[in-house]
Amino acid sequence: MTNVVRVRRESVTLPTYEPAAPDRNPMFLERRVYQGSSGKVYPLPVIDRIAETAVDREWDAIYLDNGLVEVMLLPQIGGRIHAIRDLTNGYDAVYRQHVIKPALVGLAGPWISGGIEFNWPQHHRPSTYMPTEVAIENHEDGSVTVWMSEHEPMNRMKGMHGVCLKPGSSVVEIKARLYNRTPYTQTFLWWANIATRVHEAYKSFFPPDAHLVADHAKRAVSAYPLCEGYYYGVDYGTRGQTGVPEDERPAEFLPRHCGGDGPDYAPNDLSWYANIPVPTSYMCIGTDKDFFGGYDFFVEAGLMHVADHHISPGKKQWTWGNHEFGYAWDRNLTDTDGPYIELMAGVFTDNQPDFSFLAPGETKAFSQFLYPYQKIGPAQFATTDGAISITQTQVGVAVTRNRTATIKVRANGKVEAWNDVSLSPNQPWIQPIDDADWVGVYTDGQELLAYEAKPEPGHSLDPATEPPQPSEIDSADELFLTGLHLSQYRHATRSPELYWREALRRDPGDLRCNNAIGLVHLHKGEFELAREHFQRAVERSTFRNPNPYDGEPLYNLGLTLRFLDRPKEAEEAFAKAAWNRAWQAPAFLALAELACARQDWKRTKGYLKEVIQRDTQNLKARNLLTTVRRKMGIDATPILTLADDQLDAWARHLSGQSAFANNSMRLDVVIDLVRAGLYPEALEILENADKTATDGTAPMVAYYEATVRSKLNLDPTDAYQRAQNAIPDYCFPSRLEDIAVLQSAPESDARAPFYLGNLFYDRKRYDEAIACWERSVELDSTNSIALRNLGIAYFNVRRAVEQSLDAYNQAVQTNPDDARLWYERDQLWKRVGKPAAERLAALRQRPDIVEQRDDLTIEFCTLLNEVGDVNEAAAILAHRRFQPWEGGEGMALGIHTQTHLKIGYRALQQGDAETAKRHFKDAAYPTENLGEARHLLANASDVWLAMGDACAALDQREEAEKWWRRAAEFRGDFQEMAVQPYSEFTYFQAHAWQRLDQPQKAVALLESLKKYAKDLSESVAKIDYFATSLPTMLLFEDDLQARQDARANLLNNLADKGLAELASHPLPPHR
């Protein structure tokens, strides 16, 4: 039956690779670049290991089914859609995983592929592997919506999405509601990651007016679908003319132009998965249409996405690539389900990173629509009612519910009509018609669908450029806007403060830059400094006019004065901010909270009505109004709030329901209550919290309880004692309100300054963080995490190497079983030049510790190589299953390659060419246990040269020349997630040319390398502004210039060495 929506909830058993326990140490990844913006992970703990074998696990699953489609949801994994199946033909329109196999792709570690992931407020979603709350809503029209909601862990905003299915329709509606429940302006993006299974006959498609696509941050632009040049380092232009080079052809999913089966398409057509050999993103530019999708030509079925392009402009494809590198990631993410692409739909965003603003208390609500369709091929037009496809020889119409229609088609200037056509989701209309250029579909005399094929105007877009340094910008306006861009887009390595402070250097009273710097200090918890800047902004905005155009500086001043416990002055600032329409709702809410704290119920009620008149979706105002009405003796229920949001925690609490999924959500509501002076209500919630929680929240629950008890003149001693005795693991405070709560703890408490130090360091209040941790260690010298944190801070902030080493040594002595401490200390030893033999000796003391971590194992094997114990390194590398981070690939592969090259050249020197060739082959073709494969653009000329040398020693001259030529002709390199014109492997390319009796090419190549090294040495070192991932910039701060100078020196020395060797006609270089 298709006229009824059935919903069921049941446990589903899926083989699951369980993530390890999170690391107890807070990770301050301040300059980590992740998905093109900040990869800061605090206050989340990091998980960096996944189980190597699967176990059967029960997952909570919810199914929606209307006889046409079945939707499977997994609320415990970020509320994702796990599957959408077309019940009329059995086609899985989105990629159905038959195993839960996380890999280290997420912001904090575990991430799974397949289904539909909902990414917000950044990419990937910080809570992607965390549970959501669930509510099921039945509608009068028979449709059913399953809502899944969270308070996101980074900024504490409320995000929810509802998956809705209606009777008789194949359309799946995704309803999203984003509520900024904080008093601060926030930034966000929202993308639906829709995975689809792919192969050589799978094509994604954008609307016909899409002629351009752009990379992350629009740093590169390509024609679409036929790429005419380089994109992601791949020479698609040449591929389009001469085909795919033989040594670049994929091992699987061969397109017809490479000798495979399936549809015939050009080698440079980016819309076909099988054509793209490397990890690649592209985002649609310039379309004014509302749809895109993908189509499987083997099964003749596809998926359509529809959304209003005015708010949902984002249309993107991502793939790991149809080559060895991508296949390795396919294996990391599934057992047998194969490759996928992501068809990604962005709302209030058209790129990554591309963040929009969400005002205090603001709600943004929107819908997106998906449906499976059949037979007609990629569509040129689509709505939620159906899709139209026109090719040179065929017209197709697909619909999303049963229809009887008249279909008109124009071809060669003549219109022909087909009447009383029966259409249904599993019965499209397909007619062989040549040269059609218009189709109209009519039901009951009304147009249902219509499309005219006509040339669409092209668009142009220049790639984005890096902003100049502040001193190079003339205009104060541009300084402000550049800083705003960096802040809004959460740039990881370029500080917006530099631009705003440069503007203030020129004009200390600049309104916008004072407001911006005030916000910087406010978010750090530096309230007095924030007040000074907001006051200057207000003074400038009112220096001629007492009634400013913009109330934001006044509102921000009010927030700051409230933190400074100056409520009367805060009230004046909020009241004046409310003169401005844009800031009335948040200002009136703040005024209501201040009035409520004075127990002025009447005025509170009045202010809240002002808020609700301007923003009916402000849930916090509704809940506070319910509370205040009860204080006034007026019967009040939160029914209206729950009607709009069944999962609002405060409203559920007010209605007597079980309200809080976790302690963090409790604290969110407690802070709302405390802000309004509702201490008894706050205490009730705190007393019913989970006091034994192991997620890091128990200490802060106790500290808040102690604070609230003090406000009520109740004895806080027991609560403080519980706070001190609570399990400290994962207690990473991050709210501004936490500062005063922790500062109020007894001076004898060793834990409070430890937690506060974590918060301060995350907020870049480094000296105060160090002072807090030092105080904590004075009171408790067994706190290994505080000692470790001091080790980081002494090195990165104070540049105090000896203090850093001492702190790490103490940390390891205190907690000798923490493998991360051993790894970080070894990295510190490496930075300060500790001899390899000494580092190795230390690690040999604890092989069980080395065994626990991939990175430590790689470092251990590197040290073994350095001291000559290469066979031991090879044995370790052969038996360990490595798990790379996305963006950090190459570490295991690199040490594997170097180990086998060393063994091979040792054998070659000893005259054992067969053994040498076997090890060189191992270097050339890495085993699957490494968890990664060589990137197509990565230069492996050292390996290919070695293979040639071994073949030559075996008198296999033809094979030797093949390998030498492969080494010689390779272009550039791929290092640190970027294409490089030259690298240390250029040296081996030159020797390959020499082996091929072309010394002039070898000399020219080495001279080019030498010039490149010289240019590099004379340039100022800087971080790639457009980097999407920077795996080398994590724990300890780098001296960028020293690192670049060292690299330039290495390349120059290799060039000189190679030129000297060529001049003396050397034997093949040995390692």
- Domain-embedded: residue 23: yes
Are both 844 and 909 inside the same structural domain? yes
Query: What is the CATH classification number for the domain harbouring 648?
Result: 1.25.40.10
Amino acid 862 reads T
- Domain-embedded: residue 849: yes
Boundary (domain end) residue, out of 745, 767, 797: 745
For the residues 153-174, what does the mean pLDDT come to?
A: 98
320-333 per-residue burial string, b: 16 or more CB within 10 A, e: under 16: bbbbbbbbbbbbbb
- Domain-embedded: residue 254: no
Residue 414 belongs to what domain range? 381-452
Contact residues for 988 (Cβ-Cβ < 8 A; gap 6+): 941, 942, 944, 945, 967, 1069
pLDDT value at residue 1070:
42
- Domain-embedded: residue 114: yes
Boundary (domain end) residue, out of 745, 767, 787: 745
pLDDT value at residue 354:
92
Backbone angles phi, psi at 933, to 5 degrees: -135, 165
The rounded distance, in Å, linking the Cα atoms of 1053 and 1047 is 10
For the residues 118-128, what does the mean pLDDT come to?
A: 95
Are both 388 and 336 inside the same structural domain? no
**Span of 87-101, 450-464, 604-618, 952-966 with lowest mean pLDDT:** 450-464
Of 819, 813, 821, 755, nearest to 792 by C-alpha is: 821
Are both 555 and 616 inside the same structural domain? no
For 434, other C-beta atoms within 10 Å of its C-beta total 11
The rounded distance, in Å, linking the Cα atoms of 905 and 901 is 6
How wide is the angle at C-alpha 224 spanned by C-alphas 222 and 228, nearest 5°?
A: 55
pLDDT tens-digit series, residues 1005-1034:
999 999 999 999 999 988 888 888 775 557
Are both 582 and 727 inside the same structural domain? no
pLDDT value at residue 638:
73
For the residues 770-788, what does the mean pLDDT come to?
A: 98
Of 459, 412, 464, nearest to 289 by C-alpha is: 459
Boundary (domain end) residue, out of 687, 713, 745: 745
Are both 57 and 176 inside the same structural domain? yes
Amino acid 462 reads D
Query: What is the CATH classification number for the domain harbouring 394?
Result: 2.60.40
**H helix intervals, 886-1019:** 891-909, 913-924, 941-953, 957-969, 986-995, 999-1017
Of 488, 466, 463, nearest to 188 by C-alpha is: 488
Whether 1066 has a pLDDT exceeding 80, the answer reads no
For the residues 1037-1041, what does the mean pLDDT come to?
A: 87
Assess contact for 39 and 126: CB atoms under 8 A. no
pLDDT tens-digit series, residues 293-321:
999 999 999 999 999 999 999 999 999 99
Domain count, the chain: 6
Are both 559 and 595 inside the same structural domain? no
pLDDT value at residue 578:
98
Are both 584 and 568 inside the same structural domain? no
pLDDT tens-digit series, residues 865-896:
999 999 999 999 999 999 999 988 999 999 99
Length of the chain, in residues = 1071
Assess contact for 63 and 70: CB atoms under 8 A. yes
Q: Classify strands 186-188 and 356-358 as parallel, antiparallel or unpaired.
A: antiparallel
C-alpha 511, offset from chain centre: 34
pLDDT tens-digit series, residues 937-966:
999 999 999 999 999 999 999 999 999 999
> What is the token pair recorded at 912?
């054992």
Are both 567 and 597 inside the same structural domain? no
pLDDT tens-digit series, residues 626-644:
999 999 999 777 777 888 8
3-state secondary structure 928-964: HHHCCCCCCCCCCHHHHHHHHHHHHHCCCHHHHHHHH
Query: What is the CATH classification number for the domain harbouring 685?
Result: 1.25.40
pLDDT tens-digit series, residues 711-747:
999 999 999 999 999 999 999 999 999 999 999 999 9
Of 246, 261, 245, 259, nearest to 200 by C-alpha is: 261
- Domain-embedded: residue 717: yes
Assess contact for 638 and 620: CB atoms under 8 A. no
The rounded distance, in Å, linking the Cα atoms of 552 and 512 is 10
pLDDT value at residue 39:
86
- Domain-embedded: residue 898: yes
- Domain-embedded: residue 813: no
Write down the mean pLDDT value for the chain: 96
- Domain-embedded: residue 239: no
Binned at pLDDT 50, 70 and 90, residue 658 comes out as confident
Are both 66 and 124 inside the same structural domain? yes
pLDDT value at residue 561:
99
Q: Give the DSSP H/E element, type plus range, for residue 441.
A: strand 436-443
For the residues 281-291, what does the mean pLDDT come to?
A: 96
pLDDT value at residue 1069:
47
Are both 557 and 704 inside the same structural domain? no
What's the predicted TM-score (pTM) here? 0.95
3-state secondary structure 142-189: CCEEEEEEEECCCCCCEEEEEEEECCCCCCEEEEEEEECCCCCCEEEC
Whether 1071 has a pLDDT exceeding 50, the answer reads no
Are both 354 and 288 inside the same structural domain? yes
Q: Give the DSSP H/E element, type plus range, for residue 56.
A: strand 55-65
Are both 353 and 403 inside the same structural domain? no
State what percent of residues in the chain have pLDDT above 70: 99
For the residues 336-348, what does the mean pLDDT come to?
A: 98
